[in-house]
Chains A and B, each alone.
Chain A
Amino acid sequence: MSREAILKAVKANKPEALPLPDIDLSVFDEDINLIERFKENIEFVGGRLLEINGLDTIDAEIKALYPEASKIVSCMKESALGTVPVSKDTNPHTLEDIDLTIIKGNFAVAENGAVWVSDQEIVVRALPFITNDLILVVPKNAVYLHMHQVFDAISERERTFGTFISGPSKTADIEQCLVVGAHGAISLTVVLY
């Protein structure tokens, strides 16, 4: 094991101690319409925003958007569209042909169109990536200005796995031509209610 040797070398070679900077988050303040900014950004990253009033009509709205979807996983009790049940014990390999997944997210970020989801909401870690299409459902009052606020908001959680998702998966690795739908979801819709 090289652990001791590495730590010894670091100790010998590191510069004199420098303090942590005092971070004044007020320099990042902006007085803006958060939902407007979120909408701009989610569209910029190739996603779609759907605004609805309450969750009563959510299934009808989703059906209208994805009429062809048949293998559907719903990870939220407010939607009854799920046709494939999942639990913590689901083998992720069996989710390979899922058409649509509906997940509740508790935090959205105006500055970059991202939604934070974690183990508690996604049930199986592979799910939001392996699904063909993805819907993230977020309360309107959970749109935050920037990343600093979201990290503050999630600081008390149980830490296992979580991810910020901003738009559908994409690549521009062939001559810089943007193609939506790389390895993860091919489309992403964020529903704000």
Chain B
Amino acid sequence: MAHAEAAAKFNENEAKVNWHDKALWFVRQKRDKQAHKVQGWEQLRDYASALKANVLSNLDSYLVQFEENAKKNGVIVHWAANAEEHNKIVHSILQKHNAKKIVKSKSMLTEECHLNPFLEANDIEVIDTDLGERIVQLAQEPPSHIVLPAIHKTKEEVDELFQEHLGTKPSGGNPEYLTREARKHLRSKFLQADAAITGVNFAVADTGGFVVCTNEGNADMGAHLAKVHIACMGMEKLIPQEKHLGIFLRLLARSATGQPITTYSSYFNKPEEGKEMHIIIVDNGRTEQLSREDFRRSLHCIRCGACMNTCPIYRRSGGHSYDATIPGPIGSILSPGKDLTKHSSLPFASTLCGSCSDVCPVKINIHEQLYKWRQIIVKEVPQPFVKKIVMKAAGSVLAKPKTYDFVGKSTRFMLKHTPKSLINSKINTWGHARDLPEVKGDNFEDWYKKRQKNE
């Protein structure tokens, strides 16, 4: 389904859309408040962007350096070319330890690899332990936001899910009560788990360590209780040196949720005695994206979600309308590289206002890349007939000054005189919630000519 169609579905519930829109804009405003408090914020973004550019241009040597240091620390390092290989590696580690019960903290990479269904098909229980992820797991849905996975769910919906799956009492959607119940439920899962899977926020080449950030403490509860810890990372998560963590940790939570830092920023270097720590470095299309000059900067992404919170399209269409692991503006420049035809509508799900690029902590030129993907897509993917005709017509109007002048004047006439009953009629979807703008005085050309004369 194209993005616009899926978005239309999401918009059937107007009250919910309005809530979604405002809730995310509120997070964007919290981000602004925190960003403005930091002396040298723009400099931080510049440094982060330059560091990521340096990483990409030396990625092979940083990867080797990281592996070497991690091995010295007693960590077992694996490499996966694609999702399938990643899942097989995870499974083989679990098999070796006869691990049947797994707790997993948030990891967009394992979503991308569809790890859960793979493990479940192999008789392994995987419990997502981030509250938002647990909610969408119980609802059998993918996350709709990379930081706020269940932002599309109302508290009443969560209440019902918990009644059904956790046996809670009806509470009318009391968040305190539901969170306490989830804490109890998940605590028993942490205590029983044979192995823990986490994502990686940052991997440090010069120490071989990696950092995992959470607010709930679920990554740590899992990793420190289970005998085996498997950390899955996209290969672009590397940063050169430990001291650079200072830069990225200052940016991440402020950009994501408007917190000065996440509650826990845990830095794993060595496994505890008697335990095993694994890192799986995953490519899955990243080297291909690296080859695309116009799009490689998308690999700077630190998965904060700021571009989603600010995007006027995302806020009003919901994460599921993108039908991609990573939704929103950043997803719309990552996904076409994976499957151009399937994701061909995504770069058009934007007003190109540029707000995403303005808030991006690592300064990815997201809106410019959206525009560049459009140019590729119109050449390679068949476009709707109406769109082609309209574009052609617009092209010929814009190419001829006289036609342009005539069409402009007619439009101004129409704007003034089209009856409201027609604009807001049932058949004109555009007019359901909008009116035509008021037209004042002359067009620019006439105004300019008069002004010249008067001088």
Check B56–A111 contact: CB distance below 8 A: no
Check A13–B287 contact: CB distance below 8 A: yes
Check B150–A14 contact: CB distance below 8 A: no
Check A129–B217 contact: CB distance below 8 A: yes
Within 8 A of A (CB), among B281-305: 281, 283, 287-288, 290-291, 293, 296
Within 8 A of B (CB), among A155-190: 155, 159-177, 179, 181-185
A85 in contact (CB, < 8 A): no
A70 CA to B202 CA in the complex, in Å? 38
In angstroms, how far is the closest chain B Cβ from the Cβ of A172? 8
Residues of A within 8 A of B40 (CB): 27-28
Beyond A21-B51, A112-B260, whether A170 also contacts B60 by CB under 8 A is: no
Within 8 A of A (CB), among B47-67: 47, 50-51, 53-54, 56-60, 63-64
Partner of A173, one of B51, B56, B149, B273: B149
Within 8 A of B (CB), among A31-66: 41, 44-45
B371 in contact (CB, < 8 A): no
A-facing mask of B143-154, CB < 8 A → 1, else 0?
000001111011
In angstroms, how far is the closest chain B Cβ from the Cβ of A3? 4
Main secondary structure of the interface of A (DSSP, over half): loop
B129 in contact (CB, < 8 A): yes
Check B64–A7 contact: CB distance below 8 A: yes
Residues of B within 8 A of A67 (CB): none
Check B57–A18 contact: CB distance below 8 A: yes
Beyond A14-B58, A182-B215, A182-B216, whether A114 also contacts B261 by CB under 8 A is: yes
Which one of B119-127, B172-180, B340-348, B361-369 is at the interface?
Answer: B172-180
Residues of A within 8 A of B209 (CB): 159
Across the two chains, which residue of chain B brings its CB closest to A47?
A: B263
Check B260–A41 contact: CB distance below 8 A: yes
A11 in contact (CB, < 8 A): yes
Beyond A19-B54, A163-B267, A182-B216, whether A146 also contacts B250 by CB under 8 A is: yes
Main secondary structure of the interface of B (DSSP, over half): helix
Check A9–B155 contact: CB distance below 8 A: no
In angstroms, how far is the closest chain A Cβ from the Cβ of B328? 17
Could you list which residues of chain B lie within 8 angstroms of chain A, going by C-beta atoms?
23, 26-27, 38-40, 43-44, 46-47, 50-51, 53-54, 56-60, 63-64, 73, 79-81, 85, 129-132, 135, 148-151, 153-155, 158, 173, 175-176, 178-180, 183, 186-187, 190-191, 207, 209, 215-218, 220-221, 223-225, 235, 240, 242-243, 245-247, 249-250, 257, 259-270, 272-273, 281, 283, 287-288, 290-291, 293, 296
Top 7 nearest A-B pairs (CB, nearest first) are A184-B217, A182-B216, A173-B132, A112-B260, A13-B291, A2-B81, A126-B224
A20 CA to B235 CA in the complex, in Å? 19
Residues of A within 8 A of B23 (CB): 175-176
Residues of A within 8 A of B154 (CB): 175
Check B240–A20 contact: CB distance below 8 A: yes
Residues of B within 8 A of A12 (CB): 291
Partner of B175, one of A41, A88, A177: A177
Beyond A20-B51, A114-B261, A184-B220, whether A151 also contacts B242 by CB under 8 A is: yes
B-facing mask of A138-157, CB < 8 A → 1, else 0?
00000000111011100100
A65 CA to B261 CA in the complex, in Å? 26
Check B261–A169 contact: CB distance below 8 A: no
Check B288–A13 contact: CB distance below 8 A: yes
Check A21–B54 contact: CB distance below 8 A: yes
A170 CA to B246 CA in the complex, in Å? 23
Apart from A125-B220, A130-B221, A172-B257, list 20 A-B contacts with CB within 8 A.
Answer: A6-B287, A9-B283, A10-B235, A14-B58, A23-B47, A24-B43, A126-B225, A130-B225, A148-B246, A160-B270, A164-B249, A168-B263, A171-B132, A174-B153, A175-B153, A175-B175, A179-B175, A182-B215, A183-B183, A184-B216
Residues of A within 8 A of B207 (CB): 159
Check A28–B43 contact: CB distance below 8 A: yes
A117 CA to B50 CA in the complex, in Å? 30
Check B243–A45 contact: CB distance below 8 A: no
Residues of B within 8 A of A96 (CB): 187, 191
Check B290–A13 contact: CB distance below 8 A: yes
A161 CA to B273 CA in the complex, in Å? 12
A162 CA to B269 CA in the complex, in Å? 8
A12 CA to B287 CA in the complex, in Å? 9
Residues of A within 8 A of B225 (CB): 92-93, 126, 130
A162 CA to B215 CA in the complex, in Å? 16
Residues of B within 8 A of A176 (CB): 23, 26-27, 148, 151
Check A151–B270 contact: CB distance below 8 A: no
Across the two chains, which residue of chain A brings its CB closest to B253?
A: A112
A124 CA to B224 CA in the complex, in Å? 9
